[in-house]
Amino acid sequence: MRGAIPIAVELLTIVALVYAIGWRGRRWRVLSVPAGAVTGALFGAIIHWHYETLGLASEPAPWPMWLWVSLTGFSVVIAVVGWRGAGWWRRNASVFAASFCLLSTGLTINGWLGYFPTVYAAWGQLTNAPLPGQADWDAVAAMRHKGVKPSRGVVLAVDSGDQASGFRHRGEWVYLPPAWFSSTPPVRLPAVLMLGGEFNTPADWIRAGEAVSTLDAFAATHAGNAPIAVFADATGGFGVDTECVNGSRGNAADHLTADVVPAINVQFAAARWGVVGFSSGGTCAVDLAVMHPGTFGAFVDVGGDLAPNAGTRSQTVDRLFGGDSEAWSSFDPSTVIARHGTYSDLSGLFAVPGGHGARPKAVGQTAAESLCGLGSAHGIDCSIVELPGRHDWPSAATAFAATLPWLAGRLQTPGVTATCRT
C-alpha cells in the first residue's frame, strides 16, 4: 500500500498539525511549542533506543518513521497543552493531527515492510475476513466425496496440537491443491512449511505473501498438482520472536517438528517435506532443515539471518536461551552443520531480494554467502538466487513464486519435472 494514499494522509496530517499549532500568544510560541518539539524529539529518541536494544529487524528502520514517531509525540503535547485556550475547530484539528501522525507512522512502517500490500489486504487482515480459498471441513469432505478436482486449491483451518511441545500457538492453516481432491485416498503430495518474520500471524504468507494465488497458478499449469502448504505458528503471538528455537519463549522448534509435521502427515498423508521462510522465518528454514535432514529435504531462505537473532549475540543468548550459550550453539546453523558432518540428501536456495550487486549488501546476502559456502562444503546442494526488490513482503511473494518450481520438483511433486535452480 504505497503511492497516493500515504502521501495524501501525510499532507492532511501536516495541514492539520500546522492549524492546530496556530499563531497564538507569545508564551505559546516561545515556550509551549518549543517544549512540545523537545518532548516529541525525546519521545522519538526513546522509542529508537528501545527498538535498537530489542533487535527487532534485520535492517535499520527508515528515517521517515522516526520523524513521524517524533511528530506523534509532538502533536499529543500540542493537543494537551493547547486544549484549554483553543477553540472548537482547533481542538478537533489537534486530535486529528495526533491521530494522523500515528497513522502516518503506521503507513511508513507498512511502506518499509510491505505487510499490507493493498488496501484490500489491510481491510481483510484488520477485519479478520475469510482467507482466499478458505473452506471448512464439511466442504472439504463434500469435495473429496465428489472426487473431482476443483479449479483452485482450498485453505483449511487445522489443529496440530501441542502434545509434544507444550507450545501455546494460534490457529494454523493448510492449503490443499486441486489434485488432493481427485481420489480417495488422496494422491501423496509433498508438504511445505511456510514461516513468516518477527511480527507475524500464521496467515501472513497467505495475505501478505500471496502464497495461495502463487500455488493456484502453479497447480493450474501442472494438472492440479502442487505441494501442500502448511502455514504454521512459530511464535505464539504477533510480537513474540522465538526464532523457531526451544527456549525461554517456548518450544517453537518442537512444535513445528514434533506437533505440526506429524499432524499433517496423519491428516493429509504428506509424502515429503520442505520449508520456506522469510526474514527470521528464513533463518528458521535453514535451521530446521540442517537440524532435521531426515524430515526436510529442501529449504528456501528468503532474506534470513546467519543465526537466530534477537539483538546482539549476548542479547540473543539471554533472551532466547536464558543465558545458556551451549543451547544457542545447538540452534546456530553454522555450528549444527559443522557438527553434523556430510549431508546426503538436502538441497536449499538462498533467495536475496535486492541482491543484484547492491552496495552495501542486501539484507541476508552475507548470511546466504556464509551458510551456502559452509553447506556446500558439507554436502548440501545449495545456491544463492539474487532477485529484484528489497526486504519486504512483496519481494518475499516474488521470491516464493520464483523458487516454487524448483522446490516442487525437488520434493518430487507428481506431474512436476525437477528443474535446475531458478
pLDDT in tens, 85-114: 788 888 999 999 999 999 999 998 888 777
Contact between residue 357 and residue 322 where contact means Cβ atoms under 8 Å apart: no
Residue 360 pLDDT > 90: no
pLDDT in tens, 384-415: 999 988 888 999 999 999 999 999 999 999 98
The three cell numbers of residue 160 are 496440530
Q: From 140, 10, 25, select the one nearest 64 (Cα to Cα).
A: 10
Q: From 103, 122, 148, select the one nearest 13 (Cα to Cα).
A: 103
φ, ψ for residue 323 (rounded to 5)? 90, 5
pLDDT reported for residue 292: 98
Q: Provide the pLDDT confidence category of residue 422 given band limits of 50, 70 and 90.
A: low
Contact between residue 401 and residue 214 where contact means Cβ atoms under 8 Å apart: yes
Query: Cβ contacts of residue 283 below 8 Å, gap of 6+?
Result: 243, 244, 277, 301, 304, 305, 306, 307, 308, 309, 333, 367
The three cell numbers of residue 94 are 489537534
pLDDT in tens, 215-230: 999 999 999 999 999 9
Phi-psi category of residue 214: left, alpha or beta, with phi > 0 → left and psi -120 to 50 → alpha: alpha
Residue 2 pLDDT > 70: no
Q: How far is CA 268 from the centre of its chain?
A: 25
pLDDT reported for residue 86: 80
pLDDT reported for residue 270: 94
Distance CA 205, CA 181 (A): 23
Q: What are 246's strand-pairing partners?
A: 251
pLDDT reported for residue 421: 59
Q: Provide the pLDDT confidence category of residue 351 given band limits of 50, 70 and 90.
A: very high
Distance CA 243, CA 253 (A): 9
Give the pairing of strands 172-176 and 228-231.
Answer: antiparallel
pLDDT in tens, 282-313: 999 999 999 999 999 999 999 999 999 988 88
* DSSP track, 188-253: ---EEEEE--SS--TTHHHHTS-HHHHHHHHHHTTTT---EEEE--SSSSTT---TT-EETTEEHH
Residue 328 pLDDT > 90: yes
pLDDT in tens, 265-286: 999 999 999 999 999 999 999 9
pLDDT in tens, 30-67: 888 999 999 999 999 999 888 877 766 666 788 899 99
Q: What are 274's strand-pairing partners?
A: 192, 298
The three cell numbers of residue 132 are 482466499
Query: Cβ contacts of residue 114 below 8 Å, gap of 6+?
Result: 208, 392, 393, 394, 395
pLDDT reported for residue 143: 87
Q: pTM for this one? A: 0.86
Q: What are 301's strand-pairing partners?
A: 277, 350
Q: How far is CA 156 from the centre of its chain?
A: 20
The three cell numbers of residue 170 are 494460534
Contact between residue 324 and residue 315 where contact means Cβ atoms under 8 Å apart: no
Angle at Cα 187 formed by Cα 181 and Cα 191, nearest 5°? 95
What would the mean pLDDT of 139-165 be, rounded to a whole number?
90
Contact between residue 154 and residue 133 where contact means Cβ atoms under 8 Å apart: yes
Distance CA 57, CA 249 (A): 18
The three cell numbers of residue 350 are 538462498
Say how many CA atoms lie within 13 Å of 364 toward its Cβ: 32
pLDDT reported for residue 105: 93
Distance CA 6, CA 60 (A): 21
Q: Provide the pLDDT confidence category of residue 146 given band limits of 50, 70 and 90.
A: confident
Domains of the chain, start order: 4-113 (no CATH), 131-410 (3.40.50.1820)
pLDDT reported for residue 125: 76
Residue 17 pLDDT > 90: yes
φ, ψ for residue 402 (rounded to 5)? -75, -30
The three cell numbers of residue 102 are 500515528
pLDDT reported for residue 118: 78
pLDDT reported for residue 290: 98
Q: Which of 24-38, 42-56, 174-188, 194-208 has the lowest mean pLDDT?
A: 42-56
pLDDT reported for residue 361: 76
Distance CA 350, CA 54 (A): 26
Q: From 219, 218, 217, 214, select the one nearest 182 (Cα to Cα).
A: 219
